[in-house]
Chain A
Amino acid sequence: MATTYDKIQSTTLASAAASITFSSIPATYTDLRVVLTGTVNGDTAYMTFNSDTSALYSRTWMTGDGSGAYSGGGTNENNIRLAGLFTSLINTVPALITVDVFSYTGSTFKTCLTTLSVDKNGSGETAREVGLYRSTAAITTLTLNAGVSTYTTGTTATLYGILKA
Chain B
Amino acid sequence: MPILGIIASSILTSSSSYESIATVTAAGGEASLIFSSIPSTYKHLQLRAIARDTSTSTGSTGYGLRLNADGGSNYTFHRLNGNGTSVTAAGSVSQSFLNVDQSSLGGSSTASVFAASIIDFHDYSSTTKNKTVRMFAGGDGNAAGGIYYLGLSSSVWLSNSAITSITIYAAQNAWAAGSTFALYGIKG
Residues of chain B at interface, number, CB under 8 A:
59
Chain A: which residue is nearest B182 at the CB level? Answer: A164
- How many A residues are at the interface, by size bracket? 35 or more
Per DSSP, are chain A's interface residues mostly helix, strand or loop, or mixed? strand
A71 lies within 8 A of B19 (CB): no
Q: Is B107 interfacial (CB 8 A cutoff)?
A: no
B148 lies within 8 A of A103 (CB): no
A129 lies within 8 A of B150 (CB): yes
Q: Is B20 interfacial (CB 8 A cutoff)?
A: yes
Q: Across the interface, which residues of A come within 8 angstroms of B136, CB to CB?
A: 113, 115, 128
> How many contacts between A and B, using CB within 8 angstroms?
190
How distant is the Cα of A22 from the Cα of B148 in the complex, in angstroms? 29
Chain B: which residue is nearest A143 at the CB level? Answer: B5
Partner pick for A69 among B13, B23, B87, B143, CB 8 A cutoff: B87
What would be 25 A-B contacts, judged by CB atoms less than 8 Å apart? A1-B20, A4-B20, A4-B184, A8-B12, A9-B11, A10-B8, A10-B9, A16-B3, A21-B6, A21-B8, A23-B7, A62-B81, A62-B82, A62-B87, A71-B83, A71-B85, A100-B118, A103-B114, A108-B113, A113-B117, A128-B136, A128-B150, A134-B113, A157-B8, A163-B20
